[in-house]
Amino acid sequence: MNKRVGKQTIETPSKPRIIATASIVGPKEGEGPLKDYFDIILEDDLNGKDTYEKAESSMMYTAVNEVIKKANFKEENIDYLLAGDLLNQLTSACFAAKDMDIPFIGLFGACSTMTESLAMGSLMIDGGYANHVIAATSSHFSSAERQFRFPLEYGSQRPPTAQWTVTGSGAMLLGREGNFPYISYVTMGKVKDYGVNDVNNMGEAMAPAAVDTIAQHLRDTGRTPDYYDIIATGDLGKVGKRITKELLLEHGFELKDNYIDCGDEIFEHERQKTNSGGSGCGCSAVVDCGYIYKNMLNGKFKRVLLVSTGALLSSTSCFQGLNIPGIAHAVAVEI
Amino acid sequence: MNKRVGKQTIETPSKPRIIATASIVGPKEGEGPLKDYFDIILEDDLNGKDTYEKAESSMMYTAVNEVIKKANFKEENIDYLLAGDLLNQLTSACFAAKDMDIPFIGLFGACSTMTESLAMGSLMIDGGYANHVIAATSSHFSSAERQFRFPLEYGSQRPPTAQWTVTGSGAMLLGREGNFPYISYVTMGKVKDYGVNDVNNMGEAMAPAAVDTIAQHLRDTGRTPDYYDIIATGDLGKVGKRITKELLLEHGFELKDNYIDCGDEIFEHERQKTNSGGSGCGCSAVVDCGYIYKNMLNGKFKRVLLVSTGALLSSTSCFQGLNIPGIAHAVAVEI
Whether residue A147 sits in one domain with residue A188? no
**Residue A69 pLDDT > 80, yes or no?**
yes
* Residue B1 confidence (pLDDT): 72
Residue A312 Cα, gap to closest chain B Cα (Å): 7
- What residue of B is the nearest CA neighbor of A127? B127
**Residue B299 pLDDT > 90, yes or no?**
yes
Whether residue B206 sits in one domain with residue B149? no
* Residue A155 confidence (pLDDT): 84
Whether residue A16 sits in one domain with residue A148? yes
Could you say which of B150, B175, B200 is where a domain stops?
A: B175
Whether residue A148 sits in one domain with residue A34? yes
Domain that holds residue A14: 4-175
Residues 6+ apart with CB under 8 A from A145: A152, A165
Whether residue A164 sits in one domain with residue A303? no
Asked if B87 and A314 come within 8 Å (Cβ–Cβ), the reply is yes
Chain B CB contacts of A91 under 8 Å are 314, 316-317
B176-229 tens-digit pLDDT: 999 999 999 999 999 999 999 998 899 999 999 999 999 999 999 999 999 999
* Residue A156 confidence (pLDDT): 83
A260-308 tens-digit pLDDT: 999 999 999 999 999 999 999 999 999 999 999 999 999 999 999 999 9
Confidence label for B2 from pLDDT (cuts 50, 70 and 90): confident
**Residue B132 pLDDT > 90, yes or no?**
yes
**Residue A174 pLDDT > 80, yes or no?**
yes
Q: Write down the mean pLDDT value for chain A.
A: 96
d(CA A317, CA A40): 35
Whether residue A217 sits in one domain with residue A121? no
In angstroms, the Cα distances linking A54 to A58, A61, B184, B320 are: 6, 10, 39, 9
Residue A10 Cα, gap to closest chain B Cα (Å): 6
* Residue B165 confidence (pLDDT): 97
Q: Tell me the CB-side half-sphere exposure of residue B29, using CA atoms within 13 A.
A: 38
- What residue of B is the nearest CA neighbor of A99? B191
Asked if A97 and B191 come within 8 Å (Cβ–Cβ), the reply is yes
- What residue of A is the nearest CA neighbor of B81? A190
Task: Name the residue among B237, B220, B225, B118 with its Cα closest to residue B174.
Answer: B118
Whether residue A141 sits in one domain with residue A228? no
Whether residue A226 sits in one domain with residue A171? no
Could you say which of A150, A175, A200 is where a domain stops?
A: A175
* Residue B113 confidence (pLDDT): 98
Asked if A325 and B108 come within 8 Å (Cβ–Cβ), the reply is no
* Residue B199 confidence (pLDDT): 86
HEC per residue, A272-286: HCCCCEEECHHHHHH
Q: Tell me the CB-side half-sphere exposure of residue B95, using CA atoms within 13 A.
A: 26
Confidence label for B311 from pLDDT (cuts 50, 70 and 90): very high
Confidence label for B155 from pLDDT (cuts 50, 70 and 90): confident
Structural domain count, chain A: 2
Whether residue A88 sits in one domain with residue A190? no
Whether residue A58 sits in one domain with residue A167? yes
Whether residue A250 sits in one domain with residue A322? yes
B176-185 tens-digit pLDDT: 999 999 999 9
Whether residue B11 sits in one domain with residue B61? yes
CATH number at residue A221: 3.40.47.40
* Residue A2 confidence (pLDDT): 86
Q: Which of B100, B128, B322 sits opposite A3 (nearest CB)?
A: B128
**Count of other CB atoms within 10 angstroms of residue A186:** 28
Confidence label for B56 from pLDDT (cuts 50, 70 and 90): very high
Please tell me whether residue B13 adopts helix, strand or coil conformation: coil
Q: Which of B89, B97, B317 sits opposite A314 (nearest CB)?
A: B89
Task: Name the residue among A115, A123, A39 with its Cα closest to residue A80.
Answer: A123
Residues 6+ apart with CB under 8 A from A300: A229
Q: For residues A160 and A275, is the Cβ–Cβ distance under 8 A?
A: yes
Asked if A314 and B3 come within 8 Å (Cβ–Cβ), the reply is no
Q: What is the ipTM of this complex?
A: 0.97
Could you say which of B175, B197, B227 is where a domain stops?
A: B175
Interface test with A, best of B3, B10, B89, B111 (most A CBs within 10 A): B89
**Residue A1 pLDDT > 80, yes or no?**
no
* Residue B150 confidence (pLDDT): 87
